[in-house]
């Protein structure tokens, strides 16, 4: 990707944000809308992780990354510290790659 494309996308994202602020003006959003907006970043992050882990050339891919993400998800669900989640997921992914 060229620098011109990166700078263009950055300018577009900034313009989009400014336009949103100008369109809303001094009005405040409803509590329901704010709750919905607060849920967007985690949902988008989960979608990005799923696409990067399981998608390869328009096909479902099950490999070492799947094992790492699964173990990381379980560690996060069990409320392990973030560093532990990352280290355990990376170690499981490396172990599966070494064994295969």
- Domain segments of the chain: what residues? 30-99
Q: Is 84 helix (H, G, I), strand (E, B) or coil?
A: helix
Structure tokens at 93: 């992914």
CA distance linking residue 81 with residue 66, whole number of Å? 21
pLDDT at 70: 94
Paired residues of 59 in beta bridges: 56
29 pLDDT above the threshold of 90: no
Residues in contact with 69: Cβ distance below 8 Å, sequence separation at least 6, in sequence order: 49, 53, 89
Percent of the chain scoring above 90 in pLDDT: 57
Question: What number is the average pLDDT over the span 33-61?
Answer: 87
pLDDT at 43: 93
pLDDT at 8: 93
Answer yes or no: are the C-beta atoms of 62 and 54 closer than 8 Å. yes
Query: Nearest-CA neighbor of 69 among 50, 95, 56, 82?
Result: 50
* Number of CB atoms found within 10 A of residue 96's CB: 16
pLDDT at 74: 97
Question: What number is the average pLDDT over the span 18-24?
Answer: 80
């Amino acid at each position: 990707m060229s620098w011109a494309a990166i700078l263009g996308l950055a300018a577009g994202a900034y313009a989009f944000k400014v336009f949103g602020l100008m369109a809303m003006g001094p009005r405040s959003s409803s509590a329901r809308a704010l709750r919905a907006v607060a849920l967007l970043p985690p949902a988008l992050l989960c979608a990005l992780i799923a696409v990067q882990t399981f998608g390869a050339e328009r096909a479902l891919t099950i490999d070492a990354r799947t094992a790492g993400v699964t173990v990381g998800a379980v560690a996060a669900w069990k409320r392990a510290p973030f560093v532990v989640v990352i280290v355990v997921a990376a170690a499981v992914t490396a172990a599966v790659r070494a064994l295969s």
